[in-house]
Chains A and B, each alone.
With several copies, the nearest count.
Chain A
Amino acid sequence: MALIKLTNISYDYPNTCGLDHLNLEINTGDFICLMGPNGSGKSTLLRILSGLETASQGDYQFDDQAITAAYLADPQDRQRLHQQIGLVFQNTDVQLFNTSVADEVAFGPRQLGLPEAEIAQRVTDCLELTHSSELRDRVPYQLSGGEKKRVALASVLALNPTVLLLDEPLNGLTIAAQQQMLTLLQTLQAAGKTIIMASHNFKQVQAVEPRFVIFNADHQIQADLTAAELATQPEQQAELLTL
């Protein structure tokens, strides 16, 4: 049974289209990379998956539960969904709001009411995993662009969500840092997490062999290829390289 199932999802912004009749199935443990032109709807899809918006039309099933506006209006259900899904925003600025990086990472676990010792453990672990231990006592909004990205991931990881949604997490990172992050994501996938990320860096992402879901400029899914399938289609590959 698919973990996430989207049937005929459309999303309309007040005067533009966001998504147009999408169908998508995602299984537990998948590593998915969303690609496509600017403005094709990748961020919109991630926001719908995270429950921040509800689709204008169509059906979104998460773990056999229909995620509707009514479901999300219930605070308890909403919480349960957010415990399972973590989202790193495209603009990480909006995501960091605490007084120190350590507090930022501790925020989620603290909400859960975990014992302080465990919270401290999680903070240390997450900062280490994202190579940002040395930022621990800095003020989040004063970090550089790439540093913010890493702290944002750490703060989401600390909640240990089963599904990780990442909106262009590689943006603004150096190539080396991109590789580190991809390796981390791969490790998380190996541990059973489902990872859905948007990215334009086909070259880098290819190394972790994700399943590519490719949007076209009309806000539709144009292709949906596993790494194995992609390997047999050199012309597709060439196209992606210059997308």
Chain B
Amino acid sequence: MTTKQPNNLPTWLEQPNQLTSQPQRHNFLAHNQQHLQHLLARLSQPLPAVQSKRWQLSPSISLLRLGILILLIALTNNTGWLWVLGLLLAGHLLQLSPSQLRRFSRSWLLSTLIALLVVLPSYWLVGPATVLLFGFKTGLILASTQYYRLTTTFQELLSGLKTLHCPNIFIMTLAIAITYLRMLGHYLLQTMMALDMRMVAPAKHPYRLIGTLFGNLFLKSHAYALELYAAMEARGFNGHYVNQPATTNRWHDMLTLTPYLVLVAVFIFGRTYGIN
């Protein structure tokens, strides 16, 4: 094998670079890379964070349960009621593993704190009772959604929505969106890294760069859309996701839902007797 005559390099390529460095106030690329990495870590989790073997709920029921719980919390102004609902929730939380529970508490406390900060100034407007009630209710709602998120996978969410007769076009869009979020997120992350490698000076027009980044992402995703969809079709996809048949027990489902149904009944009829 003969190598050809080495081609001559232009002079600028033969001399080493003069290193320059200009101050930069903040690095939005690095910041966003971190965000994306968190998102991807969360998305790549194939199993739900918590999976109880004995007590597996069908996805539609857990979605329903979440809805009922939030609605009840939002509707009532009775602290006693909230107390009961809180106990119910705490019971669920007991099923979490210690590490999960710590994770749960951290994000829950943070989000509740933020919600409280927003309402706090109203203390001077309407007094402490409102702030307390609001804080209590918001905390409970955030806890129940957080619990749902910890125990549910995307696939379960999809099949849950499907069982609840959500229009197919929504489900499809949701399914593709979740799939793509991972792919596009990964792509965006890699592109940002590549960009980072060539950001040898502070960006003069950061916005132009971002426009390029997302314009490029759109076009690429357009092309990906066609290819991936074709690849999915090529593998038998016809607009319906076939899911792994879930092994759930109807009795368990009903049993788990019962306390909630009782609560709803008490809530509705209790009104006439002044319970709440």
The short answer to whether A and B are in direct contact, CB under 8 Å, is yes
Chain A residues with a Cβ under 8 A of chain B: 14, 50-52, 73, 75-80, 82-87, 89, 91, 93-95, 97-100, 103, 107-113, 116, 118, 121-122, 125, 129, 137, 139, 141-142, 155-157, 159-162, 179-180, 182-184, 186-188, 190-192, 204, 207-208
Residues of chain A within 8 A of B44, CB atoms compared: 99, 139, 141-142
Tell me the smallest distance from the CB of A146 to a CB of chain B, in Å.
17
Question: Contact: B231 with A95, CB < 8 Å?
Answer: yes
Known contacts being A82-B233, A97-B232, A141-B219, is A129 close to B20, with CB within 8 Å? no
Known contacts being A82-B196, A82-B236, A141-B186, is A111 close to B13, with CB within 8 Å? no
Known contacts being A79-B238, A98-B212, A187-B7, is A111 close to B21, with CB within 8 Å? no
Q: Can you list 11 A-B contacts with CB-CB less than 8 angstroms, sorted by A residue number?
A: A79-B24, A79-B200, A79-B202, A82-B236, A83-B19, A85-B197, A87-B194, A108-B198, A137-B46, A159-B200, A190-B6
Please report which residues of chain B, range 196-236, place their CB below 8 angstroms from some CB of chain A when the two chains form the complex: 196-204, 212-213, 216, 219-220, 223-224, 226-228, 230-236
Question: Contact: A93 with B19, CB < 8 Å?
Answer: no
Question: Contact: A97 with B3, CB < 8 Å?
Answer: no
Chain A: which residue is nearest B29 at the CB level?
A75
Residues of chain B within 8 A of A112, CB atoms compared: 20, 200-201, 236
Residues of chain A within 8 A of B195, CB atoms compared: 97
Residues of chain A within 8 A of B168, CB atoms compared: none
Tell me the smallest distance from the CB of B158 to a CB of chain A, in Å.
12
| Residue B193 interfacial (CB < 8 Å) | yes
Tell me the smallest distance from the CB of B235 to a CB of chain A, in Å.
4
> Which of B213, B237, B245 contacts A111 (CB under 8 A)?
B237
Residues of chain A within 8 A of B194, CB atoms compared: 87, 89, 94-95, 97
> Which of A97, A108, A157 contacts B216 (CB under 8 A)?
A97
Tell me the smallest distance from the CB of A176 to a CB of chain B, in Å.
10
Question: Contact: B12 with A82, CB < 8 Å?
Answer: no
Tell me the smallest distance from the CB of B22 to a CB of chain A, in Å.
7
Beta-carbon contacts of B1-20 to A below 8 Å, as 1s and 0s? 10110111110111111011
